[in-house]
Structure formats: C-alpha cells, structure tokens
Structure 1
C-alpha cells in the first residue's frame, strides 16, 4: 500500500532559510547548453524573499562549468556561502550560482535566473513546460473566473472602462484584479508603451499609459496577449492597477490597496 503525505514537507534552517523537496523534473539552460538536469530539486525561500528559487544536488549540475567567483558579493551574505562564476558557450557569467549557509542544504547549488535579474541561466523547464522569472510557488494559487459583476474604472473622474463581463483574477497575497474586454475600455485615452513584464503564473504583459496630465503613474494598464494555459480566460483583456486607479464594483468604490507594487508605481 502506498503512503501519501497529507502535509507539505516544509523545513526551516537555523539561518531562516525555508525549503522543501520538489518532485518536478527541472532543467536549466544557457542558450542550448544544459547546465542543470535534476529530478530531485528543492525549492528554497531565502530570508526576505517572497518568491522561491530552485536548488539542485551538486551531482545534477555541470560543475565542470563552475569557477570560484572572482568578485563575490560582499556585505549581505554569510562567510560560509560560496559563489561561482559560470563559463558557458565562451561567456563568463559572474556570481551565477551559489551555495547556502545551511547544513540542511549542503551539497546543493542554486542559480540566478536571467528573467529575474538580467543575468544567469535564460531557459528553465518544469517537465516539458518552460517557466519564466522564478519557479511557481506551490503554496500560491491563481484563478481566473468569468463574472457578471458591474466593474467601472475611473481615472481623475473619467470612466475609462465599464463592463458587465469581467474576468476576476484571484492571486494569493494580492488584491483581486479585474480584467475587462477591450471593447469596454476607452483605449483611445491611453498610449501603448514599450514596457513589458513577465510573470511565471500568467505570462508576458504589454502596457498602456494614461494620456492625461493627472498624477497617474506610467503603465497603469496591462494585458496578456498569450497568457499561460491556467489563466487563458484573461487573454487579450485589459487590467488596471487597483493601487493607481479608482475601481467601482457593483456600485461600491474599492479602497486603493497598498501592495509590493506601490513602490514601483509611485517611485
């Protein structure tokens, strides 16, 4: 008879690092070169970081491509933490990999993700699906639900969106996002920008900025042209930062939330 765990095997080290084993097959590549290939990765949450990274047993890593870092970071890491430069395809990537100052994770190596920091490995796969920015948190849920609620979006007193057919996106730890059909949005009041962002749960977003002179941060509206399959219902719809605009749902004006996005929006 098989025995199944009913609770996740989450562990915390004395250093405050949280980690848990993963059963996913994970590969990391630099270009066409496979640097990591593991069926026994662990997810690691470093102190002060909201999103996880993968760490891998050393034997699942192309250790022959690693060199002790010539210029390791200073001032924020333990002396027992080792950083490595990665030499791949004739390119040297500084501080692309590191170990953790925790006995529980000795023998494991983590890698920087290009999509997260602009350096490191640039292609990651869970099973046969490519993932972006950072691993998806198994404790986080994202649901996109069609609705018949009446949603209006206002900027400086102007109604810029009005719909009875939104898709509500519920994401753990964030306010509800209201995705609105383009036909119900005054896109003529906005300018499409070159800004883009990536999300491991939703995909790559394009953005629009408000044309008015009001104190509205840039890029308050976005859309996913080709979202991840799990949130396919938001394809092509427009959403707005609740933090930057006024949203009225079924006649009730929502309070503007304070989230991690506020700092980037109003810097």
Structure 2
C-alpha cells in the first residue's frame, strides 16, 4: 500500500478508527543500526498516537530491511495503540527485541514503525532526515520553535529568593509549551545551584545540561538547564540558562506569572 496526499502539495492530517492521526511526509528518512541501514525511505508517514504529544514515522515495507526482522519472541502489550505485531531486529551482530511493530489500522497496512530514542536498547542507533541526524522523535511539521532576543525584564525567584534578574533574555516560543526565558549566565546566581549529571535531548534544540537548587524548600531537582551547543535554529540560546516555569516564580516586566500546568509539572516531581 502506498500512501499519497490527495493532490500534489496537499497536507491534511487524517484519522483512523483506532484514534491514530497520520500524514504523508516528503522527507527522505533513514535509520541505521551500527553500520547497517535498516530503513531508507522517501515516502515515510508521520503518525500521532492518542496518548503521545509527539509523532513517529512508519515506513512502507519495501523501504525496510524486512529480512533483518523476526517475529518477536516476547512481544509487549499496551505500549502502542492496539499494536500486537512486533518484530525483533537481528542486525550488525546484535538482536534487539521488539524493535519494530505494526499499527492495527487499515490506513497503515503494509507499513512498519520502529522504537525511537531514548530507547536505544530496542530501537535503531541513528536516524536522519535528509542529511541531518535527528534525535528523540521526529520533528513535528505543525510545531514551531522561535528563539527571540528581547529587552524585557525577567526576574526569577525560588522560595522567595532572587536567583536571576536580567533585561537581556532570549524568549523561546514553542508550540503547546509555555514561553521559556533564557537568561545570560552572568545574570543568574549559579552559586545557588549544583551541576548534575542529568541531560536531555530535544530534536529542536539539542542536548541540555542541568543544575539543581542547593537550598531548602520543596524544590525538585534539575530545574535549571542550558544548551551549550544548540542546534542552529535556536543558536541564540547558547550558554544561557532557563528555569522550569512550573516550579519557580517568574516576574515579567513587573507582573508575576502564574505557574503553568504542563506534562513537566508531574515529571519534575517524580524524577
């Protein structure tokens, strides 16, 4: 089965009875396990599962090294929307369990999905869109990230203590997330924080390093982060520090902002 837009240039998200949303993509996507190219597709399909805010790719069987796939010995349950068909990947001298699977939707018949980062124990090692490596999950074509230098006045407090004060922030606007305020390092009291070994990856921004509050109070760990080497699209945030609005008090141009409720609100408390 080949999925194509209704007409050249058309981009409409479609929905399956199972609650999956999907959209054809024109990007050239490749996935590698070690030195072996397992996926090489110029006709991938982006799929959104109902319980996940980010998309993933599925690929026509003809664009996948299906000769490297074996029916899974111990298929999982409940990991993907209705999926019961899983495959182990035998490539580059290693077997990775449940690396690939199928969605039980007629619209996506004849297509295979793969586990993505950070699950390197099951998925592939490297993914590329065109010639650029991508991480964590595919970039959502309906999501935008803008990093804009500003002269707005930003103050950050933790448990009543002022920890940052600047008139030179970079405001990062990201679809479906609160505005993040990236503050020059010299305007942050880093002596109130300890560097940690925690790190995260973002397909839009790069790899972040973190700091935790060393003071008292009900403050979760790793509430400050920075991108030492961000992706070119958000180069303006390089080396600056940002705080989770969800757990600190931010005052913008003299107005105290409400703490937003986001998926990070719970995640921060369960780390």
- Aligning the two structures, in what range does the TM-score lie when normalised by the shorter sequence? over 0.9
**Match of 1:63?**
66
Equivalent positions of 1:1-267 (< 5 A) are 5=9, 8-74=11-77, 81-116=84-119, 118-267=121-270
TM-score w.r.t. length of structure 1: 0.95
Quick check: 1:83–1:95 contact (8 Å CA) kept in 2?
Answer: yes
> Aligned equivalents of 1:16 and 1:97: distance in 2?
20
CA contact (8 A) 1:153 1:159 kept: yes
Q: Secondary structure at the match of 2:267?
A: helix
**Cα distance change of structure 1 residues 254 and 92 upon mapping to structure 2, 3 Å threshold:** same
Determine if contact 2:207/2:227 at 8 Å carries over to the other structure. Answer: yes
Question: Offset at 1:73?
Answer: 1.3
Structure 2 gaps of 5+ residues are 1-6
Residues 140, 80 of structure 1: alpha-carbon distance in 2 compared, 3 angstrom cutoff: closer
Cα RMSD, aligned residues only:
1.5
Question: Is this contact kept in 1: 2:96–2:121, CA < 8 A?
Answer: no
> Please, which moves more after superposition, 55-64 or 117-126?
117-126
| Alignment correspondent of 2:3 | none
Instruction: Give the Cα separation in 2 of the matches to 1:145 and 1:74.
Output: 43
Aligned 8 A contact 1:116 1:134 in 2: no
CA distance in 2, matches of 1:77, 1:102: 12
Shift of 1:80: 6.8
Unaligned 5+ runs, structure 1? none
Count residues with an aligned counterpart: 264
Task: Assess if the C-alpha contact under 8 Å between 1:27 and 1:36 holds in 2.
Answer: yes
CA-to-aligned-CA distance 1:96-146 (integer Å, 9 cap, x gap): 100110111111000011325653112000001000000001111100000
Structure-2 change in CA distance of 1:34 and 1:131 (3 Å):
same
The TM-score with structure 2 as length reference comes to 0.94
Deviation at 1:77, TM superposition (A): 6.0
Distance 2:53 2:219 in 1: 27
